[in-house]
Amino acid sequence: MTAEPGTRVLAADDKAIAAAARCLAAGGLVAFPTETVYGLGADAGNGEAIARLYAAKGRPAFNPLIAHVASVDAARAAGIFTDAAEKLAAAFWPGPLTLVLAKQPGCQIADLALAGLDTVAVRLPAHPVAHALLADFGGPIVAPSANRSGHVSPTSAAHVLADLRGRIDLIVDAGPCKVGVESTIVSCAGEPALLRPGGLARDAIERVLGGPLTITSTDEEAPPAPGMLASHYAPKALLRLDADGAQPGEALLAFGQTPDFSGPILNLSPRGDLIEAATNLFSHLRALDASGAKRIAVMKVPHDGLGEAINDRLKRAAAPRQG
Ligand code: TXA
Ligand code: MG
């Protein structure tokens, strides 16, 4: 095994921003400041970089990520703007507001970053360094808060380093974050709903919308009520987990050596690589679901590293559901 690579910390200037943009383009992981908290960024179109991002955070589950964009037009390329979304973007962007929108058909964001959902969370941050990085990189950057899973969000480069040293490539240091709490998340995929309170106050949002927000939650650890969480990918087909192979009528999602099977079959990673498997997870499930098979047999995926998150999502996708 090679030694863990170091994490560079660069003071935010034009050269640091150019280096960060190059690093992202090469599939690297870059922590950068926003006005709310530091984010851990990856190229939104690069599934493998996103798989490594989840591994770096040590997340036991794939939570969908926020796509950060440089302009409202870039947000429109990812998500479908309703009237409410138009009003909120005009009033509060750039700023500490994330909008959850129905995904555009041509959306270029990797399935893994959206955890397989048909919605996308987008945000136009106000921090000048975040803005410069997005402009220089030239595309959306997905970024969760730059902390280890289960820790609080970082508001300084030192916090990021304490959590992620040796696990990410670069930290762009622009001092402490002004807002200090995460962005407020509002879903405009249906009736406007507050998914997470944050740096933008609810009454300011309700004034612009001219009415109250429905309140739900995206918090995986403490959902407000069972069944309110709509944030899991669920295929139409049933899932049969820990399969050795597939039966006639099934589709097969393989891992490692591919067994003989004449029906629809895709392999998460023929060489048994969990990063590669995570990258392919949602797109392969979707493709097998689209084959029309009533059931998808899924071969065993080991539980170490990203395997824990992969198995978490497979279990949720296999769970019985209503309707
Ligand atoms: O201020 C912030 O929002 C920071 C900075 C870096 O932008 N980011 C941040 O990301 O807090 P994160 O990953 O720590 O929290 C994002 C939340 C998660 O709870 C996730 O489940 C939710 O957003 N989310 C993302 N996409 C979603 C979607 N399509 N539908 C519902 N919730 C979504
Ligand atoms: Mg977070």
Q: What is the pLDDT of residues 31-64, one digit of tens each?
A: 999 999 999 999 999 999 999 999 999 877 888 9
For residue 179, the one-letter residue type is: V
Cα separation, 169 vs 80, in Å, equals 33
Among all ligands shown, which has an atom nearest to the Cα of 150? 2
Contact 296, 239 (CB under 8 A): yes
Name the phi and psi angles at 266, rounded to 5: -135, 150
The CA–CA distances, whole Å, from 79 to 86, 107, 130, 305 equal: 11, 7, 20, 31
Q: How many CB atoms lie within 10 A of CB 315?
A: 12
Establish whether residue 161 lines the binding site of ligand 1, counting it when its CB lies within 6 angstroms of any ligand atom: no
Give 271-303 pLDDT, tens digit per residue: 999 999 999 998 899 899 999 999 999 999 999
pTM for the whole structure: 0.88
CA pseudo-torsion sign 248, 250, 251, 252? negative
Establish whether residue 183 lines the binding site of ligand 1, counting it when its CB lies within 6 angstroms of any ligand atom: yes
Cα separation, 185 vs 176, in Å, equals 22
How far the first Cα of the chain sits from its last, in Å, is 49
Whose CA is closest to atom 15 on ligand 1? Answer: 144
Could you tell me the distance, in angstroms and rounded to a whole number, from the CA of residue 57 to the centre of ligand 1?
A: 14
Tokens at residue 158, please? 């030192």
Could you tell me the distance, in angstroms and rounded to a whole number, from the CA of residue 100 to the centre of ligand 1?
A: 9
Compute the CA torsion angle 3, 13, 163, 200 (nearest 10 deg): -150
Whose CA is closest to atom 6 on ligand 1? Answer: 39
Q: Which residues have their alpha-adjacent CB atom under 5 A from ion ligand 2? A: 145
Which residues in the chain show pLDDT less than 50? 1-3, 221-230, 322-323
Compute the CA torsion angle 55, 58, 64, 68 (nearest 10 deg): -70
Among 98, 133, 179, 194, which residue has the most ligand 1 atoms within 8 Å of its CB, making it the best to mutate? Answer: 98
Could you tell me the distance, in angstroms and rounded to a whole number, from the CA of residue 147 to the centre of ligand 2?
A: 7
Cα separation, 90 vs 37, in Å, equals 22
The predicted structure's pLDDT at residue 229: 44
Establish whether residue 311 lines the binding site of ligand 1, counting it when its CB lies within 6 angstroms of any ligand atom: no
3-state secondary structure the chain: CCCCCCCEEEECCHHHHHHHHHHHHCCCCEEEECCCCEEEEEECCCHHHHHHHHHHHCCCCCCCCEEECCCHHHHHHHEECCHHHHHHHHHHCCCCEEEEEEECCCCCCCCCCCCCCCEEEEECCCCHHHHHHHHHHCCCEECCECCCCCCCCCCCHHHHHHHHCCCCCEEEECCCCCCCCCCEEEECCCCCEEEECCCCCHHHHHHHHCCCCEECCCCCCCCCCCCCCCCCCCCCCEEEEEECCCCCCEEEEECCCCCCCCCCEEECCCCCCHHHHHHHHHHHHHHHHHCCCCEEEEECCCCCCCHHHHHHHHHHHHCCCCC
For helices 274-290 and 47-57, what crossing angle results, to 10°? 120
Cα separation, 145 vs 177, in Å, equals 12
Could you tell me the distance, in angstroms and rounded to a whole number, from the CA of residue 144 to the centre of ligand 1?
A: 6
